[in-house]
Amino acid sequence: MALADNGRLFGPADDAPIALDEGAWLLPGWAAAEAGRWIEGVRQVVAQAPWRVMHTPGGKSMSVGITNCGPWGWVSDASGYAYTATDPLSGQPWPALPEWFWTQARAAAAAAGYPGFAPDACLINRYAPGAKMSLHRDQDETDRRAPIVSVSLGLPATFLWGGLARTDRARRMQLAHGDVLVWGGATRLAYHGIHPLKDGVHSLLGSERWNLTFRMARAQYPQDG
């Protein structure tokens, strides 16, 4: 590394993607500058499709609050996991995917080397202190060539990044407010999860963490804008 004229170190820009694994990239703080727009978008979704508790096929209640927007929403109940076009609570279509979400998720995917990402599903999770997500992989989507784009807001969390086998040792990393994670390709089906959220207070979301995952649930990848 050397100092440039402006005193900055040469090397990756602050917002350059960091390789996490093959096909998996962290975009540190990528969504932080416009967090207000992200939060406003989530509030609009929640006004139409409120947070709810879902149950695993095994009958346990999940500790996160869940909602969705976009053409397809992810749901879990006693009969299994599925993408549905309507919100089972209201019988109405899931709220539209805010255009801001769509363009940002698409741009984040492109920044991580996945041009042509056109999400048709956005799952939104709300974590309160103690809430967690057990090790799992996102495998209910039709075209696994498309990556997953995950946006973190609010309180920081410890993210578990495992391998392609459930028994592979999982690495731990911190996900902070505004961080965006993109994974696809060789690690599209990697196991991942979230440790129980530590108590804390975030200036924008109080004692909550929100996570949005954008997926191509039924659409084929890639797609033109």
Q: How far is the CB of 56 from ligand AKG (least distance, A)?
A: 13
| Residue selected from 111, 112, 180, 194 as contacting ligand AKG according to rule CB under 6 A | 194
Q: Kindly write out the interface string for residues 195-214 of this chain, putting x where it contacts ligand AKG by CB under 6 A and - elsewhere.
A: ----------------x-x-
CA 59 to chain centre: 24
CB nearer to ligand AKG: pick between 104 and 211: 211
Query: 129-160 as b/e, with b when 16 or more CB fall inside 10 Å?
Result: eebbbeeebbebbbeeebbbbbbbbbbbbebb
Q: Phi, psi (5° rounding) for residue 43?
A: -60, -40
Asked whether position 141 contacts Fe ion by CB under 5 A, the answer is no
Residue that has been written with the tokens 């363009």 in this structure:
103
Residue 67 binds which one of ligand AKG, Fe ion, none, with CB within 5 to 8 A depending on kind? none
192 binds ligand AKG, rule: CB under 6 A = yes
Binder of Fe ion out of 45, 74, 120, 138 (CB under 5 A): 138
For 41, list phi and psi in degrees, rounded to 5. -60, -45
Could you say which of ligand AKG, Fe ion, none residue 211 binds, taking C-beta under 5 to 8 angstroms by partner kind?
ligand AKG
Angle at 201 between CA 195 and CA 203, to 5 degrees: 120
- Residue 50-79 contact track with Fe ion, rule CB under 5 A, x = bound: ------------------------------
Q: Parallel, antiparallel, or unpaired: how do β-strands 24-27 and 180-183 relate?
A: antiparallel
Q: Least distance (Å) from Fe ion to the CB of residue 4?
A: 39
Which burial class, exposed, middle or buried, applies to 196 when counting CB atoms under 10 A from its CB (0-12, 13-18, 19+)? middle
**Nearest Cα residue to 36 out of 182, 210, 216, 225:** 210
Report, in Å, the least distance between residue 215 CB and ligand AKG.
9
* Residue 99 DSSP SS3: helix
As a whole number of angstroms, the distance between CA 61 and CA 46 comes to 20
Q: In the bound complex, what is the minimum distance in angstroms from residue 110's beta carbon to ligand AKG?
A: 21
Q: Does 188 bind ligand AKG (CB under 6 A)?
A: no
Q: Which does 125 bind (CB under 5 to 8 A by kind): Fe ion, ligand AKG, none?
A: ligand AKG
Chain residues binding ligand AKG by CB under 6 A are 123, 125, 133, 138, 150, 152, 159, 192, 194, 211, 213
Chain residues binding Fe ion by CB under 5 A are 138
